[in-house]
Homo-oligomer: A and B are copies of this chain.
Amino acid sequence: MTLQRSVMREQIKELVIQRILEGTYKPGDRVVELQLVQELGVSQAPVREALRDLEAMRLIETEPYRGARVREVTPEELTESYPVRAALEELAGQLASTLATEETFTLLEAEMQNMHDAAEANDQHGLLVHDARFHEVIVEAAGNSVLLDSWGGLRIEAFTLVSVIKSQLDLGAIAQTHQPIVDALRQRDADLTGKVMRDHIEHFGSTLFGGTTHV
């Protein structure tokens, strides 16, 4: 942890994000300012500013004079996020179908390969990371920065990782379901691509909850 490319606040932010995603900080855990201050040997100011950022990113919650804690991602919230994802990614698919370049397809196929590799190795974490990246590539290809921000605001990786990490999924099957998306994109058919994206998300959403019925 000797990097110092940017301002301290950014480094602290990255560190805490990493710990949340890795599970070092678990949902509900408190994030105490002075603890980080001591551990990192910095002052309180940059820590506080980093926490403000993380609050805006919805990774933590804070209450005045009561501190910050890692946000609980409730099953309700995860459930609710899928219709929103579906709506946004349907739009992304429509837009991307006319804007996708060869580079887009190269990226998508690379991520598909990565997903298959991860499935092979039974690496759930890796699969989900590459899955998220696959979708991100499409949203980027849609060429709409507002859409990209909105989608990014859903924190797909974080939510999915945190919540699914325990369930048993058929990783190979998940990797496989991305092929139709690429096919539709290649056909340059906006409506079809949109529909395929929507179905894909909704299917993944229900699979997820099929696999983790309990709370």
A interface with B by C-beta (< 8 Å): 6-7, 45, 48-49, 52-53, 56-58, 64, 77, 80-81, 83-84, 87-88, 90-91, 95, 144-147, 149-150, 153-154
Contact A83 B91 (CB under 8 A): yes
- Given the interface pairs A49-B49, A56-B53, A64-B6, the reply to whether A149 lies near B153 with Cβ below 8 Å is yes
Question: In the complex, what's the smallest C-beta–C-beta distance from A41 to chain B, in angstroms?
Answer: 19
Flag if A146 contacts B81 (CB, 8 Å).
yes
A84 touches which of B57, B80, B147 (Cβ 8 Å): B147
**When A45-B45, A52-B52, A84-B91 are in contact, do A77 and B146 touch as well, CB less than 8 Å?**
yes
User: How many copies of the chain does the oligomer comprise?
Assistant: 2
Contact of A153 among B7, B49, B52, B150 (CB under 8 A): B150
Q: Which partner residue on chain B sits nearest A49 by CB separation?
A: B52
A84–B49 CB distance below 8 A: no
Residues of B within 8 A of A49 (CB): 48-49, 52
A146 / chain B contacts, CB cutoff of 8 Å: 77, 80-81, 84, 154
Point out the residues of chain B lying under 8 angstroms from A77, CB to CB: 145-146
Q: Can you pick out 30 interface pairs between chain A and chain B where the beta carbons lie within 8 Å of each other?
A: A6-B64, A7-B64, A45-B45, A45-B48, A48-B49, A49-B49, A49-B52, A52-B52, A52-B56, A53-B56, A56-B56, A56-B57, A77-B145, A77-B146, A80-B147, A83-B91, A83-B144, A83-B147, A84-B88, A84-B147, A84-B150, A87-B87, A87-B88, A87-B90, A88-B150, A146-B154, A149-B153, A150-B150, A150-B153, A153-B153
Q: Are A144 and B87 in contact (CB under 8 A)?
A: no
